[in-house]
Structure 1
Amino acid sequence: MPTRNTPWPDGTPCWVDYGAADVDAAKSFYGSLLGWDWTADSPEFGGYVNALRDGHQVAGLGPLMDPGDPPSWTTYFAASDAAATCDRIRAAGGTVVVEPMEVGPMGTMVVARDPQGNPFGLWQAGTHTGVELHNEPGALAWNEAAVDDPAAAQAFYTAVFGFRFDELDGMGGYATFATDERPLGGLGGVTPGAPRGWSTCFSVASTDETVAAVEAAGGKVTMAAEDTEFGRFAVVTDPWGAAFSVMQDPPQG
């Protein structure tokens, strides 16, 4: 079981959270779908809670910061110095929407947008180090961005995080990004059925069963389940229109 309880290296997608229009309903939907338990409500932090899988924190959920925004998932990148990373975001043409904000002893958060308007976050770890379980059913598996101008996006994220991009053969220009040898996520152009901007992919035991559960709960399928070399993959939206994807590991053998 891949677990971690220390800060993630800079530039790693280290946390995801969900801005909910109806917190209780969203907790019920995602808890049932992904096998999550929840930490106690935290009025001092605006009702924000952590999702737990097998006792390990895997995601966050709270009320929308702006009630006028649609519900959505946000990807946060690890940053050991959030203020310095904000400087690089601005220098590369991005926008800092929420300046570095301390969240008690847990850490410091930032919300920003790249030059194409795609939102993302930064997380400077304190006592909260990000996801503690990954690449296991019910936990974060992958983060990727679908953008209008992939070359410009690659230049921006390289300037901010020092990424190296490696294009995958036969994937229409899709590239993985890394700071060392291990791919951290992906970036490519916009494709029909896939969400625009940064998206979150969760590992599941069965993609088909998860898709069926999404539909039964009032969600929709925007990209039907298909087998890829990386596993069985589908893109769905929850009952409130927020997109995310699910991936089942390929058969072993």
Structure 2
Amino acid sequence: MPAVQLRLAQGTPCWVSLMTDDLAGARAFYAELLGWTYTPGPAQLGDYVRAELDGAPVAGLGVLAATGFPVQWTTYFAVDDADRTAQLVRECGGTVAVGPLQAERAGRLAIAADVSGAVFGLWQGEEHPGREAGPEPGGPAWAELLTPDESGAAGFYGAVLGRPVAADGGASALLVDGRPVAGIRPGAELRGHPPRWRVHFAVRDADLTARRTVELGGRVLVGPHDAGRGRQARLADPQGGHFSVLEAA
């Protein structure tokens, strides 16, 4: 009998997915940079693969469905009921762009935007519960929203996900069972870019990863520096997808 997969607690960032215009190029880049291997994803998601570390899924990569949209990473939050939570998104002033829809037996998903336009996902895990952020190099380490309206975002995510949001060192943090699982802070760094969730991946050495990113055709947006959660850098892959790396504790 297969092992029972336990769904992550509601509000927990549980998955990250990249939509890109060059899937082959993205696969090669992240395989070299973060050590990923790949397996096919649900057929309903089109040309989509799951990235794995030591046989365990850590992220998804897919092809943009239409031209003119930016290459970007999306953070998904675990929910107990994707349909109900999608309705809450609408009631709280956000929008639902995709779904909710069934991804074979893996789970049920929706893609939405908050009141300021930042895109995020909802994931009702079934056979695939997702992956919680952690310190393992190559996997997701932290999720952080950059927004021009920190208090509005805090109220929105608190209401939609049914979790408290508390002050956290000059910013805010979404709490699950009393611990911070995602950050919300003013978007002074947006500089004309729309609000967005920033994905952080754990690495052993942020400086080395930044140099390797350039060697593989990517860019360094903000060089390695020490911040509240440790040494980190903001980078872009060769297709333009922005992401951050954070040294594993």
Q: Is the 8 A contact 2:222 2:234 kept in 1?
A: yes
TM-score by length of 1: 0.90
Q: Is the 8 A contact 2:137 2:204 kept in 1?
A: yes
Which has the larger displacement, 59-68 or 46-55? Answer: 59-68
Q: Is the 8 A contact 2:113 2:120 kept in 1?
A: yes
Q: Cα 1:6–1:135, aligned 2, differ >3 Å: closer, same or farther?
A: farther
Deviation >6 Å, runs of 4+: none
Q: Percent identity?
A: 38
Separation of aligned partners in 2, 1:32 and 1:242: 16
Please give the root-mean-square deviation of Cα atoms over the aligned residues, in Å. 2.0
Separation of aligned partners in 1, 2:228 and 2:114: 30
2:35 aligned with 1:35, yes or no?
yes
**Once the 2 structures are TM-superposed, how far is the Cα of residue 191 of structure 1 from its aligned partner?**
2.7
**Once the 2 structures are TM-superposed, how far is the Cα of residue 225 of structure 1 from its aligned partner?**
0.7
Separation of aligned partners in 1, 2:138 and 2:57: 11
Task: Say how many residue pairs are matched.
Answer: 244
Give the corresponding residue for 2:220.
Answer: 221
SS of equivalent to 2:179: coil
**Once the 2 structures are TM-superposed, how far is the Cα of residue 129 of structure 1 from its aligned partner?**
1.0
TM-score by length of 2: 0.92
Separation of aligned partners in 2, 1:133 and 1:122: 16
Give the corresponding residue for 2:174.
Answer: 177
Separation of aligned partners in 2, 1:245 and 1:134: 14
Counterpart selection for 2:184 from 183, 187, 206:
187
Long gaps (5+) in structure 2: none
Q: Is the 8 A contact 1:106 1:128 kept in 2?
A: yes
* CA-to-aligned-CA distance 1:91-119 (integer Å, 9 cap, x gap): 11011111210011111110111111111
Separation of aligned partners in 1, 2:120 and 2:109: 11
SS of equivalent to 2:98: strand
Q: Is the 8 A contact 1:205 1:248 kept in 2?
A: yes
**Once the 2 structures are TM-superposed, how far is the Cα of residue 64 of structure 1 from its aligned partner?**
1.0
Separation of aligned partners in 2, 1:246 and 1:93: 32
**Once the 2 structures are TM-superposed, how far is the Cα of residue 126 of structure 1 from its aligned partner?**
1.4
SS of equivalent to 1:167: strand
Separation of aligned partners in 1, 2:141 and 2:41: 26
Separation of aligned partners in 1, 2:138 and 2:22: 21
Give the corresponding residue for 1:161.
Answer: 161
Separation of aligned partners in 1, 2:214 and 2:117: 30
Q: Is the 8 A contact 1:57 1:133 kept in 2?
A: no
Letter of the 1:36 partner, please give it: W
Long gaps (5+) in structure 1: none
Q: How does 1:81-230 map to 2 (within 5 A)?
A: 81-131=81-131, 134-169=134-169, 173-192=170-189, 196-230=195-229
Q: Relative to total residues, which structure has the larger strand share, 1 or 2?
A: 2
Separation of aligned partners in 2, 1:40 and 1:149: 38
